[in-house]
A and B are shown apart, each in its own frame.
Chain A
Amino acid sequence: MVSTKNVNAPAGNRVSAPSAMRRYGSQLGIIGVGLAMWLVFIAAAPAVFTDIDIYLAFAQTSPQFGIIALALTFVVITGEIDLSFPSIMALGTAIFAITTSQFGLPWYVGLVGAFATGAVCGLFNGFLVAKLNIPSLVITIGTSFLFRGAELVLMNGTGVPLTAEEYPEMHAIFREPLYGFPIQSFWMLILGIIAWTLLNRTRFGSHVFLVGDNPTSARLMGVNVVSVKMRAFTLVGLFAVFSGLMTSIYGYYFWPTTGEGFLLNTIASVFLGGTSVFGGTGSMVGTFVATYIIGAINAGVVSAGISAFYTQLVFGLVIVVSVVLQTIIERRVRGQSITGR
């Protein structure tokens, strides 16, 4: 080892340990928002929110978009976005429906086909964005139409019933409660732990942060930027198909419109969870908690006896206030002014 004693020693050794606020600020913030909202709901409708049923309800529905949000967190941290996942949900599930109902193949063959479709769609997005260097905001709008169009043509615009009698295994995997616990949230937890580990405890995860922070540096230090981004997009494709299957089985029916209405909930979960739109920073815990906050607003507003017209208003308030606070806190931590200039 070359001696570098005191090279570039800072004057006065003024570096100190970051505070808990600085390290976990965004996670603490989102958990705080969640708790505050919960208290408001309890105060507004104690009868509803002290009963287990409401929790069971949104524990079943929130993971439907939350699972995609977990994977989307990787893409957003790399500084990109994927708007095509609702179409991938539909296309993957369509492949499952065709292989099992039209060709009469077993359910597990359908699963392989569905996930392979998701992987190919994700890989294609990743190829266009990372290899050909096309802005993801633009190109994933294009591929969104492409995947949706392919699905509509394949299905001829019609749906497929997915009954428990015909698909007992699929219902056991994606729908029936596990010892009374909503299996959707069980999967959210399992996939959340996998996603957390991937992000925080693997080289891939480390490279996701580095690529989103400064792609030039990452490349200079030997990180394969193209491969990292392609893998992140592929992950979204796979998780989107998982969610597409789960959502369709939950409704006993595959609708050709599967995925519509998922776009904003999913993206909102990622941003509300403290993942920065500028890339380089993000939190899997944040996405996880934010998913349930958004799910709770949906279920909570209606259950609390407030008119459903208020759902979007509450939604907007929570998202706007949270994201503004997060951004300001982050700037204060970095010693910038409130407007970041």
Chain B
Amino acid sequence: MAPVNAIHPVPVIELKNVSKTFGEVRAISGVDFKVNPGEIVGLLGDNGAGKSTMVKAIMGFHQPDPGGEVYFKGRKIHDWSVARARGLGIETVYQERALCEKQPIWRNMFMGRELRNSYGLLDVAGMRAEASRLMSEHMGFTSAAVHPDNMVATMSGGEKQGVAITRALYFDAELVVLDEPTMGLSLSETKKTLEFISNIKKVGRSAVFIDHNIFHVYPVVDRLYVLDRGKIAGVYSKDEITMDELIERLYRVARSGKLEE
């Protein structure tokens, strides 16, 4: 699925002049950010640069301070919330921390968006069956060994991440936000996760990939935002900058707060 208009595509999501203040602390300040259809956008920044706040603004957890605007496919959204964002097709993959470990897999997969039958009651059988299907089709569990009633606490880190990623995809996300998805994963699990991010682009969906590991981010993204002390310090198309130049500039920004001399 190519962008409708390759020169001026309507972004899937656009933040205009978004700030977020917590008491006295301004975590992000006047941020302009957009993701075009079929684009993978990287978000780099040191610890404390405001990456987490950005993620939470994108997926509806934080309401922007007055003056900031959020657009979804060109439409201004006023009542920005997690439920609203998920309703529009924005799904977030967190590190394993966003799973409820004492709950069965099916409850985790449908967390916050439980299936219901025509009486308004939970369709538990349906959720079990779907979880079982997703696990065997997408997570590589053989169907005979799969059980959606297994407690998440009994799974390994990679398996948990599989649950989190599968959860984001089940709902046909327009935009997948990945918050440090490779953290704590083994080498082979990391490779699979990066392959999966490339797949998002192949089927014409968009993604935001947040990490502080440039070696993971650079190869899979189309564009890169560098965040420093709550502000966008720079935006690069991948064809404008090599990985070495980018590393050079990241060191500079960390020291001086400026990307260029």
User: Which residues of chain A are within 8 angstroms of B247 by Cβ–Cβ distance?
Assistant: none
Q: Mark A1-42, 1 if CB is under 8 A from B, else 0.
A: 111111111100111111000110000000000000000000
| A48 interface residue (CB < 8 Å to B) | no
CA distance A197 to B120 in the complex (A): 12
Instruction: Say yes or no: A2-B140 contact (C-beta < 8 A), given A7-B193, A8-B165, A214-B100.
Output: no
B138 at the interface (CB under 8 A from A): yes
Residues of chain A with a CB closer than 8 A to B161's CB = 8
User: Residue on B with the closest CB to A4?
Assistant: B138
The answer to whether A274 has its CB under 8 Å from any CB of chain B is no
Q: Which of A200, A210, A217, A281 contacts B124 (CB 8 A)?
A: A200
Q: Is residue A209 contacting chain B, with contact meaning CB distance below 8 A? A: yes
- A210 near B199: Cβ-Cβ < 8 Å: no
Find out whether the CB atom of B83 lies under 8 angstroms from the CB atom of A206. Answer: no
CA distance A249 to B100 in the complex (A): 43
Q: With A3-B203, A9-B140, A200-B124 in contact, do A214 and B81 touch (Cβ < 8 Å)?
A: no
A220 vs B202: C-alpha distance in the bound complex, in angstroms? 27
- Is A218 part of the contact surface with B, judged by Cβ < 8 Å? yes
Chain B residues near A218 (CB-CB < 8 A) = 100, 111-112
Tell me whether A63 is interfacial, beta carbon within 8 Å. Answer: no
CB distance from A26 to the nearest CB of B (A): 12
Question: Do B141 and A214 have beta carbons less than 8 Å apart?
Answer: no
B232 at the interface (CB under 8 A from A): no
Which residues of chain B (183-224) have a CB below 8 Å from chain A?
A: 189, 192-193, 195-196, 199-200, 202-203, 205
Choose among B100, B149, B150, B172 the residue that contacts A280 (Cβ–Cβ < 8 A): B100
Query: In the docked arrangement, what's the CA distance between A210 and B154, Å?
Result: 17
Q: Does residue A341 face the partner (Cβ distance < 8 Å to B)?
A: no
Q: Is A203 an interface position by the 8 A CB rule?
A: yes
Q: Is B139 touching A7 in the complex (CB atoms < 8 A)?
A: yes
From A8, A202, A203, A219, B139 is in contact (CB under 8 Å) with: A8
Instruction: Pick the most buried of A15, A22, A197: most chain B CB atoms within 10 A of its CB.
Output: A15
Question: Nearest A residue to B135 by beta-carbon distance?
Answer: A15
- The residues of B that contact A210 with a CB separation of less than 8 Å are 100, 103, 107, 111-112
When the two chains form their complex, are residues A8 and B107 in contact, meaning their CB atoms are under 8 A apart?
no
Q: Which residues of B contact A9 (CB under 8 A)?
A: 139-141, 162, 192
Q: A209-B103, A214-B101 are in contact. Are A13 and B145 (CB under 8 A)?
A: yes
Contact assessment for A7 and B147 in the assembled complex, using a CB-CB cutoff below 8 Å: no
Nearest chain B CB to A285's CB is how many angstroms away? Answer: 15
A223 at interface (Cβ–Cβ under 8 A)?
yes
For the complex, give the distance between the alpha carbons of A223 and B61 in Å: 11
Query: Using Cβ atoms and an 8 Å threshold, which residues of chain B touch A217?
Result: 94, 97-100, 111
Q: Does B151 contact A (CB under 8 A)?
A: yes
Contacts of B155 in A (CB 8 A): 10, 15
Bound form: Cα–Cα A201–B151 in Å: 18
Do B141 and A10 touch (CB < 8 A)?
A: yes
B118 contacts A by Cβ under 8 Å: no
B85 contact set on A, CB distance < 8 A: 222
A1 near B154: Cβ-Cβ < 8 Å: no
* B interface, size bucket: 35 or more
- Checking A16, A203, A205, A216 against B97 with a beta-carbon cut-off of 8 angstroms, the contacting residue is A216
Contact of A4 with B199 in the complex, beta carbons under 8 Å? yes
- Minimum CB–CB distance from A182 to chain B (whole Å) comes to 30
Q: Does A52 contact B (CB under 8 A)?
A: no
Q: Does B169 contact A (CB under 8 A)?
A: yes
Interface residue? A305 (CB, 8 A): no
Complex alpha-carbon distance, A14 and B146, angstroms: 9
Pick the contact of B166: A4, A209, A281 (CB < 8 A): A4
Q: For A220, list chain B residues within 8 Å (CB).
A: 59, 61, 82, 92, 94, 98
Q: Please give, as numbers and ranges, the residues of chain A lying within 8 Å of B193 by CB-CB distance.
A: 7-8
Q: How far is the CA of A200 from the CA of B106 in the complex (A)?
A: 13
Partner pick for B122 among A18, A206, A216, CB 8 A cutoff? A206
A1 to B176, CA, bound (A): 12
A residues in contact with B59, CB < 8 Å: 220
Determine the distance from Cα of A44 to Cα of B92 in the docked complex, in whole angstroms: 61
Q: Which residue in chain B gives the minimum CB-CB distance to A330?
A: B102
* Contact yes or no, A222 B192, CB < 8 A: no
Shortest CB-to-CB span from A6 to chain B, Å, is 4
For A1, what are the chain B residues with a Cβ–Cβ distance below 8 Å? 169-170, 172, 203
Among A1, A2, A15, which residue has the most Cβ atoms of chain B within 10 A?
A: A2
B114 at the interface (CB under 8 A from A): yes
- Residues 86-111 of B, flagged 1 when their CB comes within 8 A of A and 0 if not, give 10000010100111111100010011
| The 7 residue pairs across chains A and B that have the minimum distance between CB atoms | A9-B140, A8-B162, A222-B82, A17-B147, A213-B100, A221-B112, A222-B112
> Can you show 30 pairs from A to B with CB atoms below 8 A apart?
A1-B203, A2-B199, A2-B203, A3-B199, A4-B196, A6-B192, A8-B139, A8-B162, A9-B140, A9-B192, A10-B159, A16-B147, A22-B151, A197-B121, A202-B121, A203-B122, A209-B100, A214-B98, A217-B100, A218-B100, A220-B94, A221-B111, A222-B82, A222-B113, A223-B112, A280-B100, A280-B102, A280-B103, A334-B153, A335-B154
Chain A interface residues (CB < 8 Å from chain B):
1-10, 13-18, 22-23, 197, 200-203, 205-207, 209-210, 213-214, 216-223, 280-281, 333-335
List 9 extra interface pairs beyond A2-B200, A15-B145, A280-B103, CB under 8 A.
Answer: A3-B203, A7-B139, A8-B165, A9-B141, A9-B192, A220-B98, A222-B85, A280-B100, A334-B154
